[in-house]
Chain A
Amino acid sequence: METELDKTAYKILTAGSLGSIILFVLGILFRMLPVLNGQEIIGYSVTVNLGGREVSGSSLLFLAGSLILLATPFTVAIASAIIYLMNREYKFAAVTLLVALIMVSSLILGISGLLCPSA
């Protein structure tokens, strides 16, 4: 790896992929606990109290892993833009910020609730 950008992108991608996979595998193991104990498979045996609501521990891990996975490419884009700005490579900083902006617009379009899936 030659540049600061390469090193930063590598660290973010490695952390993102490892973090999400560890959470997914832990979640799957949580689901397997009843099977390993010889009980009937009910799927949600390990629960967490979240604001007075019982939530499956494995579902929480799956959600966290998915969010980390979703955020990883966006984080790479933002980190790249910052490094380009620090290196005064303004053309590439603008391009990378534009990509991040398009990703955010996807988020805004989703939040607006304008799109509902067809049957």
Chain B
Amino acid sequence: MINLFLSVLVGVISGFLGSLIGSGGGIFLVPFLTLLCNVPIHKTIPASLMAVIATSTSGASSYIKQGITNIKLAFLLEVATTLGALTGSVIALLLSSWVLFLVFSLLLFYIAVSTFRVRSIEEKPIQKRQNVKVDALSRIFDIRDWYYDRALKRKVSYRVSGMNEGLALAFIAGVGSGLLGIGGGVIKVGAMNIFMNVPIKVAVGTSQLMLGVTASTSALLYLLAGLMDFDLIASLATGTIIGTFFGSRVMNRLRSRTIKWMIALLLGYLAYSMFAKGLLLGFGIEIPTLTRR
């Protein structure tokens, strides 16, 4: 068991860094705990999932209060996401630690490169209700809604389409969440905005609600597999919420280019270290890293 105060600190740092790049902090929590604190990866994943639930529940309530969460859409996509989460967590429980380290390192490499390359999050403009091409599934559920955009100072109406693509990507996000203990919000927000004609603000609010539902599906399985360390969960969840709170307030004051460079480098190094640990555990091959084994 790691020191309670150290895990609060890990939570604060992960939440802070995560909020700078718009994630829940899970992509930092798992490497920090496994590499720096030597917590087994099968115990780190459920702790990270619980931190995701904590940040999601507090964030989602704020978005619902602002009237930008589409609860109908959230639960519709959750059918695919919870199935994905269940699949991902079953796979994670069956896989050896070294495989999880290698898979996680691939994800970190991908996010590091994406953070470095993407200049800014560009919102895809939504189509007016009458111009939307609606597929069969979207027609059956026929989700139409609006929200008041404070920046634009007007009501924004939208009609949800592209349900097939949305459900497929939601399933992939769920698998990622259950397998690696991350939120998968980036995939969900992208899917809703790019394929489903959902305004980006609604996509972010809806994704926040979904994160908690997805993570709790996987977390239940880990709980009953006896992999939950409640001391670790409590300290990480508290730390992550504090870190996210400060990170979201600091983000607008920092130069985005500098942040992206620093975080991309950190993610790249964490990816390399996770890869190194996977190689060591799986094949006994040792490559140099700064972290202790």
A interface residues with partner B (beta carbon < 8 Å): 1-2, 5-6, 9-10, 13-14, 16-17, 20-21, 23-25, 27-28, 31, 43, 58-59, 61-63, 65-66, 69-70, 72-74, 76-77, 80, 91-92, 95-96, 98-99, 102-103, 105-107, 109-111, 113, 115-119
Contacts and interface: CB of A to CB of B under 8 A. Distances in A.
Nearest to A110: B224
B250 to A, nearest CB: 21
A118 B227 CA distance: 12
Interface string B41-72: 01000000010011011101100110101011
14 contacts: A6-B67, A13-B64, A17-B61, A31-B4, A66-B50, A66-B228, A70-B53, A80-B75, A91-B140, A98-B79, A110-B222, A115-B93, A115-B94, A115-B221
Interface residues of B, number: 58
A41 B186 CA distance: 41
B83 interface: yes
Interface string B79-101: 10011011001100111110000
B219 interface: yes
6 A-B pairs closest in CB distance: A110-B224, A13-B61, A62-B234, A17-B57, A62-B230, A17-B58
A116 B71 contact: no
A47 to B, nearest CB: 15
A102 B82 contact: yes
Nearest to A103: B217
A68 to B, nearest CB: 10
Given A102-B83, A118-B97, A92 B75 contact: yes
A59 B229 CA distance: 10
B71 A5 contact: yes
B213 interface: yes
A118 B231 contact: no
B90 A10 contact: no
A105 B57 contact: no
B74 to A, nearest CB: 9
Contacts of A80: 71, 75
* Majority DSSP secondary structure for residues of A touching B: helix
A77 B77 CA distance: 13
Given A21-B54, A21-B241, A76-B212, 18 more contacts: A9-B71, A10-B61, A13-B64, A59-B230, A66-B233, A69-B53, A73-B53, A73-B216, A76-B209, A77-B78, A91-B141, A95-B141, A96-B75, A102-B217, A103-B82, A106-B85, A110-B221, A117-B225
Contact of A117 (B8, B42, B215, B223): B42
A101 to B, nearest CB: 9
Contacts of B209: 9, 13, 76
A109 B90 CA distance: 9
B8 A28 contact: yes
B67 A103 contact: no
A72 B58 CA distance: 11
A6 B71 contact: yes
Contacts of B90: 109, 115
- Of A70, A95, A96, the most chain B CB neighbours within 10 A belong to A70
A9 B141 CA distance: 21
A21 B237 contact: yes
B281 to A, nearest CB: 9
A103 B50 contact: no
Contact of A70 (B97, B220, B235): B220
